[in-house]
Amino acid sequence: MEKTISISTKKNNYPIIINFNLFDKKIFFPFLKKGDSIMIVTNQKVFSLYFKKIFNQFDNIGLKIDYIILPDGEKYKTLITVNMIFTTLLKNLHNRDTTLVALGGGVIGDITGFAASIYQRGVKYIQIPTTLLSQVDSSIGGKTAVNHDLGKNMIGSFYQPNIVIINLSCLYTLSQREFSAGIAEVIKYSIIFDKKFFSWLENNITKLFTLNKDKIFYCINKCCKLKAKIVYEDEYENNQRALLNLGHTYAHAIEAELGYGKWLHGEAVAVGIVIASVISKELNLLNNFDVIKIINLLKQYKLPTKLPSNIDVNKLLKHIYKDKKVKKKQINIILPVRIGKVIIYNNISEKIIINAINSNKNLLF
């Protein structure tokens, strides 16, 4: 069942290896040799679950291994945390030849990738994502970042890893809430690229929730292939890669306004997708039948579809204006026009966004 997908960009080419029980098998790291140095970056929960097996993988190569356990959660995705990594690297005399290893979910992956991109002007790094969201999305494609109090992912870089190791067995340790948050990104791919995949998700809800091996493998392999294709075509998000931000303009605003960590990223993305769909319907770009299908699928995967009733629309709008897709104070957003196709809609009016947010808070379906 093992699958290797190649990610190609103008400057980089690296594999994504996908299988169950990968930590129990010998993993080949072609760029590492005996005597090299690595530092594993993880959090306490992941450390207790997987550190020993990952340590053994690298110890068998004969590497010098250090590690750091970071505090867990989106609120710690900051420059302060990145500096903790730098301090540990410097104290242990790691130089430009070292390799960082991101062992964890999206937060650990983003922090580690960003640290690797700027430590001594750039060192190698490995992604070992342990959540569904990070396996299908954030570990792939080289987007790295930390948050600022005034906006999510505002400080970052495009910096590709050297390899991505996706151990599907990690999904057995996730809570239902964490799994559902990852499915939000999966649903996002289907709305953007593939109507048949959307239908497949409708027909395999129970099997995905029960982690049927064949269905999980197909699902993650499908998402990784879609991500690989778009990264190859537009590594630096100058055009088509921006389509992957469906729902994210609102999601980042929701996370910033509620406080990082109150909602999981995928939960905010789910509501963001609904808001984008409502806007698209109001602009007569998306029919009401597809809006209902999108909302129903999100609900079936136990994801939120409505904003908290007490959220302040004007404060949310202020966060939206800080989004990276806003240029010259023009809000550019991704809108679905049908299931399987989205567009970049330029310079949408503030009034339409406010109306859509208010409509979402009062959704009747």
What confidence tens digit (pLDDT) does each residue in 130-184 have?
999 999 999 999 999 999 988 889 999 999 999 999 999 999 999 999 999 999 9
**What pLDDT does residue 29 have?**
96
Residue 177 annotated among the catalytic residues of the structure:
no
**What pLDDT does residue 332 have?**
87
Instruction: For 220-264, give the secondary structure using H, E and C.
Output: HHHHHHHHHHHHHHCCCCCCHHHHHHCCHHHHHHHHHHHCCCCCC
Residue 251 · residue 265 · CB < 8 Å: yes
pLDDT tens, residue by residue, 72-84: 999 999 999 999 9
Residue 152 annotated among the catalytic residues of the structure:
no
- Look-up: residue for tokens 């990264």? 231
Q: Choosing from 26, 34, 91, 121, which is the catalytic residue?
A: 121
Q: How many residues comprise the chain? A: 365
Q: Choosing from 94, 215, 222, 252, which is the catalytic residue?
A: 252
pLDDT tens, residue by residue, 31-53: 999 999 999 999 999 999 999 99
Q: What is the fold of 3-173?
A: Rossmann fold (3.40.50)
Q: Is 237 left (phi over 0), alpha (psi -120 to 50) or beta?
A: left
pTM (predicted TM-score): 0.94
Q: What confidence category does residue 364 fall into, taking pLDDT thresholds of 50, 70 and 90?
A: low
Residue 222 annotated among the catalytic residues of the structure:
no
Q: Choosing from 124, 152, 185, 257, which is the catalytic residue?
A: 185
* Mean per-residue pLDDT of the chain: 94
Q: Choosing from 124, 143, 281, 325, which is the catalytic residue?
A: 143
Closest CA to 134 of 301, 297, 16: 16
Residue 287 annotated among the catalytic residues of the structure:
no
Q: Choosing from 245, 257, 267, 332, which is the catalytic residue?
A: 245
Residue 241 annotated among the catalytic residues of the structure:
yes
d(CA 337, CA 280): 7
Q: Where are the domains of the chain?
A: 3-173, 182-361
Q: Choosing from 124, 152, 188, 241, which is the catalytic residue?
A: 241
Q: Choosing from 215, 227, 281, 325, which is the catalytic residue?
A: 227
Mean local confidence (pLDDT), 87-100:
98
* CA distances from residue 101 to 54, 83, 159, 231 in whole angstroms, order as listed: 10, 16, 14, 22
Superfamily of domain 182-361: Dehydroquinate synthase-like - alpha domain (1.20.1090.10)
Q: Choosing from 222, 265, 324, 325, which is the catalytic residue?
A: 265
d(CA 45, CA 108): 12
What is the bridge-based pairing of β-strands 13-19 and 99-104? unpaired
pLDDT > 90: percent of the chain: 84
Q: Output the CA torsion sign for 55, 143, 14, 182.
A: positive
**What pLDDT does residue 120 have?**
97
Residue 245 annotated among the catalytic residues of the structure:
yes
Q: Choosing from 248, 281, 319, 324, which is the catalytic residue?
A: 248
Q: Choosing from 237, 255, 257, 267, which is the catalytic residue?
A: 237
Residue 185 annotated among the catalytic residues of the structure:
yes
